[in-house]
């Protein structure tokens, strides 16, 4: 009987408190808390490669007229106090040679997901752990923000919530006051805790040597910050979703003299733009370097982002930025803001 009685008094863990990581055997949560982003699931059906969309049969690359060239030259001269306007007003334009600068930009809008165990003060939420199987990280429904904008959301994964006793205060709701080390008082700062001064008892502490702790109101305990005094915690899996616009630019310059760091001050002219889930290289452009660069950028983005995130949308731009003007044998580099 004694043996049976000793067994009957065995203390079991509370039924509402699951193991530290009860999701270790559930697909998608094996390495929870290990850091890094979760790779998106492999599509059930093969994904068709991106198909080339319509491209211009003839690329409209604007030519600089003589009148526009002269006006641009006049504006340039007027912007310098010591330049003479004579050549701009009276000179004869003998030839105009176009040397273009192109900027390609590829933006890839991605969604990344990661999970970790989390806890918060219990405030009456439903503990739905084991109510039904939890959805895998990529199956949790999340509303996508505006495309090509940076945004982050943290979500409590459904059917992963459970309640446990606060491990900091052990279910009491209060902890020892750090300011007074749980005593409710601190040494009097006027007499250093002795209760005495040169002329007798310390009048500030009435000779007790103690100063009432204002932090805990002389109770020696303060509210537990972990559970906010509620004695219990809600534990759950937190899903973090991050949307990022990943952008890369490349400048193809044809002896125009326009430097890449000057492009921020230039309006330029958009020659081509396409937006779809996966864009394609810019084949057929008169400058072969453009097609090569676009192909390289697309492959680099696929390699960098497709393994750890879901590519939601891509957009590709091509802009024309500058030309060179040969004016009476003098070459003058003019930025796009003068031309377009």
Q: What is the pLDDT of residues 211-224, one digit of tens each?
A: 999 999 999 999 99
Give the separation between CA 275 and CA 174, rounded to whole angstroms: 57
* 145-155 burial code (b ≥16 CB/10 A, e <16): eeebeeeeeeb
Alpha helices in the chain (DSSP H): 2-8, 66-78, 86-90, 288-305, 336-339
Mean pLDDT of the chain: 78
Per-residue confidence band for 164, with pLDDT thresholds at 50, 70 and 90: very high
Domain edges within the chain: 15-41+92-156+241-340
317 has pLDDT over 90: no
288 has pLDDT over 60: yes
pTM of the model: 0.70
Structure tokens at 339: 């031309």
Give the separation between CA 321 and CA 334, rounded to whole angstroms: 10
């Amino acid at each position: 009987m004694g043996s049976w009685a000793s067994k009957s008094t065995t203390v079991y863990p509370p039924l509402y408190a699951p193991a530290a990581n009860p999701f270790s055997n559930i697909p998608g949560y094996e390495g929870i808390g290990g850091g890094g982003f979760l790779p998106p699931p492999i599509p059930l059906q093969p994904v068709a490669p991106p198909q080339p969309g319509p491209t211009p049969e003839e690329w409209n690359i604007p030519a600089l007229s003589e009148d526009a060239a002269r006006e641009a030259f006049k504006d340039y001269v007027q912007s310098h106090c010591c330049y003479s306007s004579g050549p701009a007003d009276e000179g004869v334009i003998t030839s105009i040679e176009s040397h273009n600068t192109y900027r390609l930009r590829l933006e890839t809008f991605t969604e990344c997901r990661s999970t970790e165990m989390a806890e918060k003060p219990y405030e009456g939420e439903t503990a739905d752990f084991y109510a039904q199987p939890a959805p895998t990280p990529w199956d949790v429904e999340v509303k996508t923000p505006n495309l090509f904008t940076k945004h982050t959301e943290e979500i409590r994964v459904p059917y992963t919530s459970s309640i446990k006793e606060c491990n900091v205060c052990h279910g009491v709701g209060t902890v020892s006051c750090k300011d007074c080390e749980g005593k409710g008082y601190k040494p009097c700062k006027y007499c250093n805790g002795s209760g005495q001064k040169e002329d007798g008892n310390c009048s500030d502490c009435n000779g007790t040597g103690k100063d009432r702790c204002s932090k805990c109101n002389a109770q020696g305990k303060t509210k537990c910050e972990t559970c906010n005094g509620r004695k219990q915690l809600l534990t759950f899996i937190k899903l973090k979703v991050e949307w990022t616009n990943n952008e890369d630019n490349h400048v193809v310059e044809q002896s125009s003299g326009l430097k890449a760091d000057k492009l921020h001050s230039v309006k330029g002219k958009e020659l081509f733009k396409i937006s779809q889930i996966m864009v394609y290289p810019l084949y057929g452009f008169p400058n072969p370097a453009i097609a090569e660069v676009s192909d390289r950028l697309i492959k680099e983005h696929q390699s960098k982002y497709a393994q750890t995130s879901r590519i939601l949308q891509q957009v590709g731009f091509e802009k024309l930025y500058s030309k060179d003007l040969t004016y009476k044998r003098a070459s003058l580099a003019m930025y796009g803001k003068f031309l377009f």
